[in-house]
């Protein structure tokens, strides 16, 4: 018995919807989540408590890596992919930029949520219009606008082009955010890891921070890969829906007898 073929030559068993059903476990994502959970356990239970700030300082192990991954890595990749798209016009670069922007907004949201939670017991206030805080919030709005822009434009080429320009322009804020603690008088502490000389952390705390940075970076790549695959699947399904004629369009009009 022969296997039926679709009009495009694919078998029904290999259609995108069937492939999605057989997708199984995303092992990279599973490993990343387990690594992140292990890091949280180490930070809470096995890392010394800071003498002045107390237990609130442990938020640092979520807050700081989220800022590094969200601002520098995620939005940096959005800008790089957007710039390359404007040059090469490769749709894969647009998908990478969109996926990285979505994950970057999530990470930056974590930064903006954990920052006030950490700041309240240390600074005595949930929020202050500090230069670094304000610029980070503004950057968050820029990339939320990036995602809204992508949803508001139907034409793929126009959407990709406009998004690429906004992604590149938004990333210009990142150096100012990093240098804001040097350029302005600010409550936000100076960098204790990303600085020219040695990190200002005891070995136990530095090890926990590096573990958090590694696990959250791995989680970022796993989420970007999953979002990229989902975008490809959606595009494939949409292309298939357009290419396959409906049953109604294939009916021929019969003469009335």
3-state SS, the chain, equals: CCCCCCCCCCCHHHCHHHHHHCCCCCHHHHHHHHHHHHHHHHHHHHCCCECCCEHHHHHHHHHHHHHHHHHHHHHHHHHHHHHHHHHHCCHHHHHHHHHHHHHHHHHHHHHHHHHHHHHHHHHCCCCCCCHHHHHHHHHHHHHHHHHHHHHHCCCHHHHHHHHHHHHHHHHCHHHHHHHHHHHCCCCCCCCCCCCCCCCCCCHHHHHHHHHHHHHHHHHHHHHHHHHHHHHHHHHHHHHHHHHCCCCHHHCCCCCCC
Report the alpha-carbon distance of residue 148 to residue 144 in Å, rounded: 6
Q: Is the dihedral of CA 43, 30, 214, 104 positive or negative?
A: negative
Task: Please report the pLDDT score of residue 23 as a whole number.
Answer: 56
Per-residue pLDDT of the chain (257 residues; tens, 9 = 90+): 444 444 444 444 454 444 444 557 899 999 999 999 999 999 999 999 888 888 988 999 999 999 999 999 999 999 999 999 999 999 999 999 999 999 999 999 999 999 999 888 888 888 888 888 999 999 999 999 999 999 999 999 999 999 999 999 999 999 999 888 888 777 777 777 766 666 678 889 999 999 999 999 999 999 999 999 999 998 888 777 766 655 444 545 455 44
Is the separation of the CB atoms in 227 and 99 below 8 Å?
yes
Distance CA 150, CA 225 (A): 19
Q: Report phi then psi at 50, rounded to 5.
A: -65, 140
Return the pLDDT at 6. Answer: 47
Q: Residue 183's pLDDT is what? A: 80
For the chain, what are the domain ranges? 28-46+56-189+202-236
pLDDT of residue 18: 47
User: What's the CATH number for 28-46+56-189+202-236?
Assistant: 1.20.120
Token duo for residue 223: 């989420």
The per-residue pLDDT for 194 is 65
Cβ proximity of 231 and 91 under 8 Å: no
Q: What pLDDT does residue 185 have?
A: 75
Within a 10 A sphere around the Cβ of 157, how many other Cβ atoms?
11
Q: What is the pLDDT of residue 17?
A: 44
pLDDT value for 145: 97
pLDDT, residue 238, reads 76
User: So what's the pLDDT on residue 218?
Assistant: 97
In angstroms, the CA 182 to CA 89 distance is: 38
């Amino acid at each position: 018995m022969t296997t039926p073929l679709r009009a495009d030559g694919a078998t029904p068993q290999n259609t995108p919807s069937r492939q999605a059903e057989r997708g199984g476990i995303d092992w990279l994502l599973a490993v990343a989540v387990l690594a992140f959970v292990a890091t949280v356990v180490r930070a809470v239970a096995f890392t010394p408590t800071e003498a002045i700030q107390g237990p609130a300082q442990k938020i640092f192990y979520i807050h700081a890596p989220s800022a590094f991954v969200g601002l520098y890595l995620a939005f940096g990749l959005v800008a790089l992919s957007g710039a390359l798209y404007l040059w090469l016009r490769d749709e894969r670069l647009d998908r990478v930029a969109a996926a990285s922007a979505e994950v970057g907004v999530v990470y930056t949201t974590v930064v903006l949520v954990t920052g006030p939670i950490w700041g309240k017991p240390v600074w005595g206030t949930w929020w202050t219009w500090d230069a670094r805080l304000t610029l980070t919030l503004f950057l968050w709005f820029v990339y939320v606008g990036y995602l809204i822009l992508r949803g508001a434009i139907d034409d793929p080429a126009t959407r990709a082009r406009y998004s690429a320009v906004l992604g590149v322009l938004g990333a210009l804020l990142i150096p100012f955010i990093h240098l804001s603690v040097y350029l302005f008088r600010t409550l936000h502490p100076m960098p204790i890891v990303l600085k020219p000389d040695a990190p200002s952390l005891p070995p136990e705390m530095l090890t926990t921070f590096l573990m958090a940075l590694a696990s959250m970076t791995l989680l970022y790549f796993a989420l970007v890969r999953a979002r990229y695959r989902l975008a490809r699947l959606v595009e494939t399904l949409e292309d298939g829906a357009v290419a396959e004629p409906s049953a109604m369009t294939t009916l021929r009009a019969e003469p009335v007898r």
